[in-house]
C-alpha cells in the first residue's frame, strides 16, 4: 500500500483515512505493507506507529499530502534540512516512484493499493514490475483541491493515467465518483464507492481549561476548498444576534492571512479566534470545547471531521457539497454559499438546548455504526474480486 | 349479522415555510402557499377527484352502500383556497344521504392533551364549518390520529356526542375482539374500534409484494369479512382517504379493488353497511375498556410518541400552548388563527426522530430535509408569533394609557 502521510504527522483527513483503513484491514487479518515517504522532521516517531501486522518503510522525500507544486517549491526554498531532493514536486513524485524497485522486488504481496495522485506513479511502477493488480483510491480530485480553478494539468494527467491503468478505482463518495466519471471520463463500472469511517478514541482523560459559552468550531485547512471565508461571514451574522458566541477556527493554509485581516477589519478578533494547526489531543480538546461544529466546504470528497465531532457529542452543520452528507442523517445540511441559512441554523442550535441535545445524542448513536470495519470489509471485497487471496483467514 | 363501517380520514396541514431567524419581525407569511397548493393539486388528481368519482358511482349503484368521512378544518380551508372543485365533489357525495361526516378538532390538533378549553372551541369551530359547507351536524367524534383515553371519552360524552372512534389495539382488548361495540370504564359513550388488521390490509399492505396474501383479491377480502359473521357485530374499516391513489397508486389496482368490494360484500345476505352513528344504535355494548395512557392509530407503538416522543417536540408544543391566554386576550383574529394553525399535529410529526433512520412513513410529505429543520423553522415562527403578540400588547398599552388620559 502506497501512502504519503500518517498520523500523528498528517496535515488532514487523508492520513487519518489511510490509518483507519490499514487498521480495519489488519483487524480482518489482511497483511499490509505500508510504503510511506516521510519528511525528515518526522523520522523519530515512526517506530510508534509500526504494529505487528503492518510496517512502515520510509523513503526520504519531501512529499506531503497537501503540497501543490507551488507550495512545495516554497517549502523547498525555506527548508533548513533538505537540499538533497528535487526542486519540483512532480520530479519528487517521479523520484519516489522510481526508488521503489527494491521494495517491490523484495516484498511479497498480492495487490497494490495507492492513495491519491502523489502515489499513483509509484503504484503504476509497482504494477509494471510485479504484474500484480492495482487499486487506486481517490480521496480528492484536483477539482476539489483547486475549487475547479487553475487545475494543474500534470496533476490531472497523473490522476487520469492512474485511474485508466488501474484495475479498480475506489472513490470515497458518490460525489467523488460523479466527478471522476464527468471530469476524467473513467468507466463507472470500474469505480467502487467506499465511504470512510471514523476511529473511536477515548477522550475521558482530556481536560479543557476554559470553555467559552456558545462555541462554534471550524476545523480544517484554511483553503478555498474548505470554505473558511463562508464560516467567518456566517459568524459575523450570528454575532449580530448572539454577541456572546465564540467562533474558533482551527487550521492553517493559504487563506489564513486574508481571514485574520478580515476578522480584524470587522473588529471581531475577540469573538472569532484562530488557533493555528492542531494535532492529537488538541483536536479532541477543540471538539470538547465546541457546542457546534460547522463544515462549510465548497467541495468535499468525503469529510471525516464531522464524524469526529459527532463522536465527541458535538452537533454538526455540514455542506451538502460533501461526501459525508451521503452517509449521515442526524445533522443539519446546508448549501455552503447560503450564509443566511447557515447563520440562522447556527443560532437555532445555540439557542435551543433540546435541539442541541437531540442532534448530539442521535448523532453519536449514528456515528457509532460508522467504524472502519465496514469500509475495510468493502475494500477487501474489491481485493477479492481482483485476486484470489487464499492465505487470509476471513 | 355484520355491519361494515367505512370511515376515511381526509386531512392536509398548512405546511410551514423555511423561516429563518432573520425573518422574525419581517411580516413574512408562515405558510408555504406554493407548496401547499401544489400538494392539494397533486393529491386531488391522484386521489380526491378519482376516488370521489368512484365513491359516487358506488353509492348510486348500491343504495345500501354507506361510508363516512372526517375532514379536518384546515383541509377544507385549503380546498376553498386552492381547489373549490374538489370541495364541490365532496358536497355531491354528502348530498346522496349515504355519507356521514364525523366531528374532529378544526386544526387537526393535539389540543386535548394540552388545553380542554381550546379542544372544545376547536370542535365547535369544526362543527360550524361542517354545517356551513355540507348542511349536516356531526354526532360521532374522532380525535386527531385516533388519540384516545378514558378522559377523552368522558369529555366527548359531556360535549354531547353519541360515539367515539378508537384503535382496536390488542394490549387494550387483551382476549377480546374489535368487532363489537364497547364502552369506557368511566362513562357510557359507545366506542367504535378500528379493526386494524383488516383496515391495514388495504391501507398499508395492499401493494406489498412481500406480503403472503399479495395480491389481495376482492373475493379473498370479502371472505375474511364474511367470516366475522357469527363472532362479531361490526367491522370497522378506518383508513386515510389518500389510501386510494396516493398511498396505494392507481397502478396497484386499488381503485378496481374498491369498485368491486361493495358488490362482493353484499352477496353475503348477513352483511350490511352502516354509519358509525348507526352501528352504535344498532349493536349493544359488549364490554368495558380501561385506557389511561393515550393510544393512537399510529406506528407500531400506537402511542403519542410520533408527535411527542422527543424533547424538541415536547418543548415546541408546550411553548405554543403557553401563549394561549395571551393570544386569546389580545383579541387579534389573525394572530389567533396563525397560533391555531401551528397546533396541527403534522408540524410535530415532522420533528420525529425515532424512525428517521429508516426513512419510512415519516418521510411521507415531510416538507423538510430533517426533523431538526422541522423544529428550527417551527421555533423561528413561534418566535415571530411571540414578537407580534408583544408588539400588539405594546400598542394596546399605549392605547389604554391614552384612553386613561382622556378620562
Q: Is A326 on the interface with B (CB under 8 A)?
A: no
The catalytic residue among B145, B157, B167, B278 is B145
Q: Where are the beta strands (DSSP E) in B20-172?
A: 67-71, 99-101, 140-141, 163-167
Among A292, A353, A354, the residue to mutate for chain B (most B Cβ within 10 A): A354
Establish whether B219 is a catalytic residue.
Answer: no
Q: Residue A41: which pLDDT band, with cuts at 50, 70 and 90? A: very low
Q: Residue A60: which pLDDT band, with cuts at 50, 70 and 90? A: very low
Average pLDDT, chain B: 94
Q: What is the pLDDT of residue A1?
A: 83
Chain B CA closest to residue A334: B369
Instruction: List the domain boundaries for chain A.
Output: 13-197+372-393, 215-367
Q: Residue B240: which pLDDT band, with cuts at 50, 70 and 90? A: very high
Q: Is B311 on the interface with A (CB under 8 A)?
A: yes
A352 vs B372: CB contact, 8 Å cut-off?
Answer: no
Whether the predicted pLDDT of B333 surpasses 90 = yes
Least confident of A233-237, B352-356, B358-362, B393-397: B358-362
d(CA A318, CA A24): 26
Residue A193: count of CB within 10 angstroms of its CB: 17
- DSSP β-ladder status, A292-295 and A272-276: unpaired
**Long-range interactions of B196-201: CB distance < 8 A, separation 24+:** B196/B167, B196/B168, B196/B169, B196/B297, B198/B224, B198/B225, B198/B235, B198/B237, B199/B236, B199/B237, B199/B238, B199/B239, B200/B239
DSSP-derived 3-state class of residue B128? helix
Contact residues, chain B, for A240 at CB < 8 Å? none
A357 vs B376: CB contact, 8 Å cut-off?
Answer: no
B129 half-sphere exposure, CB direction, 13 A CA radius: 25
What's the CA dihedral at B122, B126, B132, B133 to 10 degrees?
150
Domain A13-197+372-393: which topology?
A: Rossmann fold (3.40.50)
Superfamily name with CATH number, domain A215-367: Glycogen Phosphorylase B; (3.40.50.2000)
Residue A341 Cα, gap to closest chain B Cα (Å): 7
Q: What is the pLDDT of residue A83?
A: 37
Q: What is the pLDDT of residue A42?
A: 32
The whole-number average pLDDT for the span B281-290 is 96
Q: Is B315 on the interface with A (CB under 8 A)?
A: yes
**H or E stretch at B319:** helix B311-322
Chain A CA closest to residue B380: A348
Q: What is the pLDDT of residue B156?
A: 98
Q: Residue A201: which pLDDT band, with cuts at 50, 70 and 90? A: confident
What are the pLDDT digits (tens) for B157-215? 999 999 999 999 999 999 999 999 999 999 999 999 999 999 999 999 999 999 999 99
Tell me the C-alpha to C-alpha distance, in Å, between residue A147 and each of A29, A151, A157, A256, A340.
39, 9, 17, 17, 22
Residue A265 Cα, gap to closest chain B Cα (Å): 24
Of B18, B312, B369, the CB nearest to A355: B312
Interface contacts (A, B; CB < 8 Å): 65
pTM above 0.90, yes or no: no
Residue A219 Cα, gap to closest chain B Cα (Å): 23
Of A241, A344, A355, the CB nearest to B372: A355
Cell numbers for A247, please give them: 467562533
Q: Give the residue from A124, A125, A131, A129 showing the smallest Cα distance to A110.
A: A131
Contact residues, chain B, for A364 at CB < 8 Å? none
Q: Is A327 on the interface with B (CB under 8 A)?
A: no
Whether the predicted pLDDT of A35 surpasses 70 = yes
A332 vs B373: CB contact, 8 Å cut-off?
Answer: yes
Among A240, A317, A334, A344, the residue to mutate for chain B (most B Cβ within 10 A): A344
Predicted-complex ipTM score: 0.84
Cell numbers for B396, please give them: 394596546
The whole-number average pLDDT for the span B280-294 is 96
What are the pLDDT digits (tens) for A272-295? 999 998 877 888 899 999 999 999
Are A13-197+372-393 and A215-367 in the same CATH fold?
A: yes
Number of helices followed by number of strands (H, E) in chain A = 16, 12
A331 vs B315: CB contact, 8 Å cut-off?
Answer: no
Contact residues, chain A, for B371 at CB < 8 Å? 358
Burial class (CB in 10 A: 0-12, 13-18, 19+), A244: exposed
Q: What is the pLDDT of residue A307?
A: 95
Amino acid at each position: 500500500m502506497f501512502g504519503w502521510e500518517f498520523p500523528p504527522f498528517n496535515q488532514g483527513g487523508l492520513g487519518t483515512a489511510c490509518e483507519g483503513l490499514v487498521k480495519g484491514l489488519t483487524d480482518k487479518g489482511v497483511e499490509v505493507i505500508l510504503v510511506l515517504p516521510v519528511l525528515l522532521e518526522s523520522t523519530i516517531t515512526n517506530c510508534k506507529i509500526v504494529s505487528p501486522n503492518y510496517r512502515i518503510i520510509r523513503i526520504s522525500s519531501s512529499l506531503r499530502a497537501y503540497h501543490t507544486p507551488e507550495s512545495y517549491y516554497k517549502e523547498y526554498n525555506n527548508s533548513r534540512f533538505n537540499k538533497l531532493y528535487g526542486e519540483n514536486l512532480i520530479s519528487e513524485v517521479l523520484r519516489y516512484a522510481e526508488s521503489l524497485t527494491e521494495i517491490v522486488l523484495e516484498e511479497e504481496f498480492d495487490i497494490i493499493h495507492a492513495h491519491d495522485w502523489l502515489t499513483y506513479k509509484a503504484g503504476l511502477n509497482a504494477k509494471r514490475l510485479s504484474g500484480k493488480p492495482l487499486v487506486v483510491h481517490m480521496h480528492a480530485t484536483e477539482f476539489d483541491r483547486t475549487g475547479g480553478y487553475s487545475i494543474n494539468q500534470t496533476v490531472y494527467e497523473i490522476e487520469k493515467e492512474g485511474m485508466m491503468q488501474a484495475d479498480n478505482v475506489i472513490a470515497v463518495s458518490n460525489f467523488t465518483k460523479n466527478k471522476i466519471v464527468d471530469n476524467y471520463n473513467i468507466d463507472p463500472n470500474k469505480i467502487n464507492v467506499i465511504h470512510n469511517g471514523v476511529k473511536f478514541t477515548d477522550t475521558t482523560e482530556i481536560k479543557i481549561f476554559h470553555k467559552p459559552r456558545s462555541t462554534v468550531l471550524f476545523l480544517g485547512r484554511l483553503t478555498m476548498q474548505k470554505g473558511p471565508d463562508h464560516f467567518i461571514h456566517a459568524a459575523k451574522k450570528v454575532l449580530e444576534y448572539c454577541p456572546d458566541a465564540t467562533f474558533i477556527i482551527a487550521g492553517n493554509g493559504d487563506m489564513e492571512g486574508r481571514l485574520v485581516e478580515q476578522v480584524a477589519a470587522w473588529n471581531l478578533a475577540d469573538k472569532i479566534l484562530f488557533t493555528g494547526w492542531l494535532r492529537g489531543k488538541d483536536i479532541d480538546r477543540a471538539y470538547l470545547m465546541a457546542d457546534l461544529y460547522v463544515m462549510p466546504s465548497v467541495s468535499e470528497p468525503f469529510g471525516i471531521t464531522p464524524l469526529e465531532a459527532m463522536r465527541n457529542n458535538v452537533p454538526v452543520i455540514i455542506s451538502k457539497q460533501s461526501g459525508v452528507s451521503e452517509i449521515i442523517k442526524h445533522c443539519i445540511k446546508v448549501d455552503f454559499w447560503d450564509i443566511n441559512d447557515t447563520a440562522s441554523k447556527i443560532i437555532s442550535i445555540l439557542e435551543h438546548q433540546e435541539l442541541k441535545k437531540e442532534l448530539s445524542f442521535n448523532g453519536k448513536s449514528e456515528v457509532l455504526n460508522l467504524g472502519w470495519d465496514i469500509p475495510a470489509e468493502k475494500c477487501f471485497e474489491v481485493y477479492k474480486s481482483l485476486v484470489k487471496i487464499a492465505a487470509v483467514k476471513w | 349479522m355484520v355491519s361494515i363501517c367505512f370511515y376515511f380520514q381526509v386531512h392536509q396541514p398548512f405546511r410551514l415555510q423555511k423561516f429563518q431567524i432573520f425573518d422574525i419581525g419581517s411580516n413574512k407569511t408562515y405558510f408555504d402557499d406554493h407548496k401547499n397548493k401544489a400538494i392539494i393539486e397533486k393529491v386531488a388528481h391522484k386521489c380526491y377527484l378519482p376516488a370521489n368519482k368512484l365513491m359516487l358511482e358506488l353509492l348510486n349503484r348500491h343504495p345500501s352502500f354507506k361510508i363516512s368521512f372526517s375532514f379536518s378544518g384546515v383541509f377544507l380551508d385549503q380546498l376553498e383556497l386552492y381547489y373549490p372543485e374538489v370541495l364541490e365533489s365532496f358536497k355531491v357525495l354528502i348530498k346522496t344521504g349515504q355519507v356521514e361526516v364525523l366531528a374532529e378538532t378544526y386544526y387537526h390538533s393535539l389540543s386535548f392533551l394540552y388545553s380542554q378549553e381550546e379542544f372544545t372551541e376547536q370542535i365547535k369551530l369544526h362543527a360550524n364549518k361542517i354545517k356551513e359547507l355540507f348542511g349536516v351536524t356531526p354526532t360521532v367524534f374522532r380525535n386527531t390520529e385516533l388519540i384516545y383515553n378514558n378522559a377523552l371519552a368522558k369529555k366527548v360524552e359531556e360535549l354531547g356526542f353519541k360515539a367515539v372512534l378508537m384503535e382496536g389495539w390488542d394490549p387494550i382488548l387483551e382476549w377480546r375482539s374489535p368487532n363489537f361495540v364497547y364502552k369506557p370504564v368511566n362513562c357510557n359513550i359507545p366506542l367504535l374500534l378500528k379493526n386494524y388488521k383488516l383496515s391495514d390490509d388495504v391501507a398499508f399492505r395492499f401493494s406489498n409484494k412481500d406480503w403472503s396474501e399479495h395480491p389481495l383479491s376482492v373475493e379473498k377480502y370479502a371472505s375474511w369479512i364474511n367470516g366475522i359473521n357469527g363472532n362479531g357485530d361490526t367491522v370497522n374499516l378506518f383508513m386515510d382517504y389518500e389510501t386510494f391513489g396516493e398511498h396505494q397508486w392507481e397502478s396497484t389496482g386499488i381503485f378496481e379493488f374498491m369498485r368491486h368490494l361493495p358488490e362482493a360484500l353484499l352477496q353475503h345476505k348477513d352483511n350490511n353497511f352502516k354509519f358509525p352513528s348507526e352501528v352504535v344504535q344498532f349493536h349493544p355494548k359488549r364490554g368495558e375498556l380501561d385506557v389511561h395512557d393515550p393510544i393512537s392509530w399510529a406506528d407500531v407503538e400506537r402511542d403519542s410518541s410520533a408527535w411527542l416522543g422527543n424533547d424538541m417536540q415536547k418543548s415546541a408544543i408546550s411553548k405554543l400552548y403557553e401563549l394561549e391566554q395571551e393570544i386569546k386576550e389580545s383579541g387579534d383574529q389573525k394572530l389567533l388563527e396563525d397560533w391555531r394553525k401551528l397546533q396541527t399535529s403534522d408540524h410535530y410529526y415532522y420533528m420525529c426522530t425515532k424512525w428517521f433512520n429508516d426513512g419510512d412513513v415519516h418521510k411521507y410529505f415531510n416538507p423538510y430535509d430533517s426533523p431538526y429543520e422541522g423544529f428550527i423553522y417551527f421555533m423561528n415562527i413561534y418566535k415571530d408569533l411571540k414578537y407580534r403578540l408583544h408588539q400588539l400588547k405594546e400598542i394596546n398599552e399605549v392605547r389604554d394609557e391614552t384612553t386613561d388620559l382622556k378620562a
